[in-house]
Structure formats: C-alpha cells, structure tokens
Amino acid sequence: MTAPTKKIKPLVAGNWKMHGTGSHLRELGRLNTSLSKHKFGCDVAVCVPATLVHRLSAMKFGAKIMTGGQDCHGAQKGAHTGDVSADMLKDAGAKWVIVGHSERRAEVKRGGHGETSKLVREKVLAAQMAGLRSIVCVGETLAERKSGDTLKVVGAQLRQSLPDTCSAGDIVIAYEPVWAIGTGETASPAQAQEMHAFIRNLISKAYGEVVGNSISILYGGSVKPANAEEIFSKADVDGGLIGGASLKSADFTAIVTASKS
C-alpha cells in the first residue's frame, strides 16, 4: 500500500507552565476575541495549570481554544498525593496533555522531577486510556548537542517514551531542544527541519509510513511572533509548543496566524 502524501492539520499549543491564577484567564478571553478576527488553519490548544483546566473548559471556547493539562500520572488512580490522573484532566474538560516536558525530565536538584522515558511512556498509555491526546516532548541538552549525541538522545527518548500503538489521532510529538526553552535562543529553521525529518523517519520505521506521514511534529523553544513563520514554513514542522509567548494573547495570536494551514 502506498503511504498517503503528508497532510496534517497543524497545532499551535500554549504551555503556561506554573503561571496563572483565575484572573489570568481573562487573557484567554482576549485570545478568543482576537482569534475571531483572524483567519488561521491550525488547531489551537492552551495547556494551563491543573487548577485552571476546569475553569478554562467552562469558558466554552470549544474547538477554537482547546484545553490541555501539563502532566498526568501514569496510574489511573491511587495513593499519589498531589498528582492528577489523565481521567481527572479529561473529566475537567481537557482534550490534551503534555507529557515528558524537559522541565519534568530535568533532575530534581535542578528543580525538575527526574522523569525517565519509561515513566513518560506510562503517562502516554494513561492518556490513551482516558481518551486524551498527548503532546510527547523530546529534545537534547546543549551538552548533548555539542558532543554530537543529539540523534542518539532524541532517538532513544522517542523509542522509550512511545507505546506499542501510536497514531496521529492520539499522539503529537514536540521536538524541544532543551537549550532553546525559555532562553531566547531558537534552533535555526534548518536545525529544526533536520530533527523533524529524523523524527518522522523514525516514526515511519517503527509504526509504518501511514503513521509517519500523518503524525504532527511540533517545534518548541523560544518561538515568538518574529521567528514563527520561518520555523513553521519548514516541511516537517507542523506547528509549535509555545511557552512564554503563549501568556500574551497578542503574541500568541501572531504565532497562531503564522502557522501554515
């Protein structure tokens, strides 16, 4: 069977990280108003702190601004104080969940949670079971890039984080070089394209070309209105995961409208 030509609806997803209380949801009201004034061909989601998931869903932006969480536990329920399950996010109205973000994979002594790809895989499975779509993050550190290990590291993260069944309907990959997150430094469009093509090829080999050609691969790392269009124009870049710039409706609107359709 011939694999279909690549045809993917891009996604631009915001990641608010640990920013925002109820009053900040007004910014999403502004985003809704400003998106109504523009034409764009991508899906839009905002992954808010767990405390805001239900409140964002209740704002009823529907498919225009989909709600996402930023993490979930790998178990469906249990004695895991302080954690949130995929079922709970789904129940609160989320459609999406970020898993394996580098800020969670980072070592505890650096403020992270030391999450391994094995754990990330459990979270993806939990999200699949709950009917949530996962944004699975992978990316190398600066030291790994400098030592020439980028492909080895990202390849291993993908192989170990993804479950046995993987489809474009439930999984999106976000390539996020750690050195570009929140630093103002961005991968060049050529570097992003090289990594996205590598990821697509790896997915095609593991799950077949139909999956490889239909899975979305987002770029994340200091995307701003000024650089979004050039990065998004690359053949294998299907949108972005946006941190800092998603907190301001004007910047986020500019990034959404820079996406190809």
Spell out, one character per residue from 197 to 236, where the chain touches ligand PEP: x when CB under 6 A holds, - when not.
Answer: -----------------------xxxx-------------
By CB under 6 A, residue 181 contacts ligand PEP:
yes
Structural contact between residues 167 and 127, judged by C-beta atoms closer than 8 angstroms: no
* CA–CA separation, 68 and 88 (whole Å): 12
Q: Is 38 marked active-site? A: no
Number of residues in contact with ligand PEP under rule CB under 6 A = 14
Q: Is 80 marked active-site? A: no
Q: How many helices (H) and strands (E) does the chain have?
A: 11, 8
* Catalytic annotation, pick one of 101, 103, 115, 196: 101
Structural contact between residues 53 and 89, judged by C-beta atoms closer than 8 angstroms: yes
- What residue type is 155 in one-letter code? G
Q: What sections of 166-214 are H helices per DSSP?
A: 189-207, 209-214
User: 17 or 105, CB closer to ligand PEP?
Assistant: 17
Select the residue interacting with ligand PEP from 10, 99, 244, 255 (CB under 6 A).
244
Q: Which is it for strands 11-15 and 43-47: parallel, antiparallel or unpaired?
A: parallel
* Number of C-beta neighbours around residue 49 at 10 A: 16
User: 87 or 176, CB closer to ligand PEP?
Assistant: 176
- Residue by residue, DSSP assigns 213-240 as HH--EEEESS--HHHHHHHHTSTT--EE
Single out the segment in contact with ligand PEP by CB under 6 A; choices: 142-150, 155-163, 187-195, 241-249: 241-249
By CB under 6 A, residue 169 contacts ligand PEP:
no
Structural contact between residues 136 and 173, judged by C-beta atoms closer than 8 angstroms: yes
CB of 7 to ligand PEP, least distance (A): 25
CB of 221 to ligand PEP, least distance (A): 5
Residues 108-137 within binding reach of ligand PEP (CB under 6 A): none
Residues lying near ligand PEP in the complex (CB under 6 A): 15, 17, 176, 181-182, 220-223, 241-245
Catalytic residues: 101, 176
